Every structure is written in C-alpha cells, then in structure tokens.
Amino acid sequence: MSRLPLRTIDDAPEAARAGLRTALANNGYLPNLVRLLANAPAALEAYQTVSAINARAGLSLAEREAVQITAAATHGCGFCVAGHTAIATKKVGLSSDAIDALRTQAAGPDARLNAVADFTHAVIRGRGAVGDDELQAFQAAGFSDANALEVVLGVSLATLCNFANNLGQPALNPELEAYRWPSAVAAAE
C-alpha cells in the first residue's frame, strides 16, 4: 500500500490534472509514480518538464534508458527499474542480456552501454565529482563533454523519480508487473 495518496484526475489538485491527462494519453494508463507526484503539482511538472528536456539530449534512447535503469538500481527503486525495463524492452529493443546487466549492475554485451552505466555509477557515487580517469574512460568510449553533462541530467531526473517512489512506496502498476525487478521483491520482504 502506498504511503502517500495515489491521485486520480478527479481527486488531484487542479494544477496537477493536466499533467495526469498527458500521462494517461502517453501511457494508456496512469503510472503510480505520476499519481504519487500529483500530490505536489510542482513535482509532477518538474518530472514532466525534465523528462521532455532529457528526451532531446544527444544520448540515444538506449543510452538514456541505461542511465535510468542504472540510477534506479543504484537507488533501490524497483518501480523505476521496472518502468525503464519496459521502455528498454518495448521502445528500444534492448536484448534481455543487456537489460539484465543494467539491472544487476554488471558488465553487459554492449560496450557503449557499459560505459554509460559505469559513468552513471561514478556520477552518483561521487555526487558529480568523478575522477579524471572515469571521465576519460567515458570519453574514450566515444562520448562528448555534452554527453557527460547529459548523464548528470539523466541522474537528476532519476533521482526525483527514485526518491519520490522510495518515499511514497506505491505499488507497481499491473502494466509493469512483467518487468518487476527481483531485487525489489527481496528488499520488500
């Protein structure tokens, strides 16, 4: 059971209703993360605005999803791991081996995604103060200075979502059940 209310379009604060309608139109259902964020219309607006900005980043969708899955696994957010696994599977077409590697924070079959995951870990671990060797390894994998800052952007988006979910503890939507993160089940028991 969620620790904070999961709002609907009908009972959400007026300032959050348009954001909920957009989420429903985009997903075909209301993700519980969005319903949770609707308690604070500014938080929902920040999530949707930063998500739209992040979508324009120079990192590919696969690379952006690698940031999101890596951050969610690092922050212990089962909801976000499941949600971004669904995107990585359905929209990106990542292999199950690549997704499993991101979810378990292990090296996977794609060197470029490994570089993104490693750099994401470094950004989170160092709170942005990555070592010269970590930045150089990311750049040696073919990424630019702009891409390094886009990883920070992705981590900022993930932090909002991961921390909101960890605070509110919403149930996983049935639409995401097939992508449930086993580590989240173990942590909940």
The rounded mean pLDDT for the chain is: 95
pLDDT band at 186 (very low <50, low <70, confident <90, very high): very low
Burial profile 46-79: b = 16 or more Cβ within 10 angstroms, e = fewer? ebbebeeebeebebeebbbbbbbbbbbbbbebbb
Q: What is the structure's pLDDT at 144? A: 98
Look at residue 174 and tell me whether its pLDDT is greater than 60: yes
pLDDT of 17 above 60: yes
Average pLDDT over residues 82-110: 96
User: Average of pLDDT values for 126-136?
Assistant: 97
Q: Is the pLDDT of residue 12 over 90?
A: yes
**Which has the closest alpha carbon to 48: 84, 19, 90, 80?**
19
Q: Mind listing the pLDDT tens digit for each residue in 22-68?
A: 999 999 999 999 999 999 999 999 999 999 999 999 999 999 999 99
Query: The pTM is what?
Result: 0.94
Burial class (CB in 10 A: 0-12, 13-18, 19+), 100: middle
Mean pLDDT along residues 4-14: 97
pLDDT exceeds 90 at position 139: yes
DSSP state at residue 88? I
Query: What's the pLDDT score for residue 97?
Result: 97
Distance CA 66, CA 80 (A): 12
Compute the half-sphere exposure of residue 163: CA atoms within 13 Å on the CB side of its CA: 8
CATH classification for the domain delimited by 14-188, as one of 2.40.110.10, 3.40.50.300, 3.30.565.10, 1.20.1290.10: 1.20.1290.10
Give the per-residue pLDDT at 172.
96
What pLDDT score was predicted for residue 187? 44
Do the beta carbons of residue 168 and residue 44 sit within 8 Å?
no
**Domains of the chain by residue range:** 14-188
| pLDDT score of 128 | 96
Whole-number Å distance between alpha carbons of 38 and 107: 36
How far apart are alpha carbons 43 and 34 in whole angstroms?
10
Measured distance CA(177)–CA(123) in Å, rounded: 29
Rounded to the nearest 10 degrees, the angle between the axes of helix 96-104 and helix 111-125 is 20
Which pLDDT score is estimated for 189? 38
Contact between 88 and 65 under an 8 Å Cβ cutoff? The reply is yes
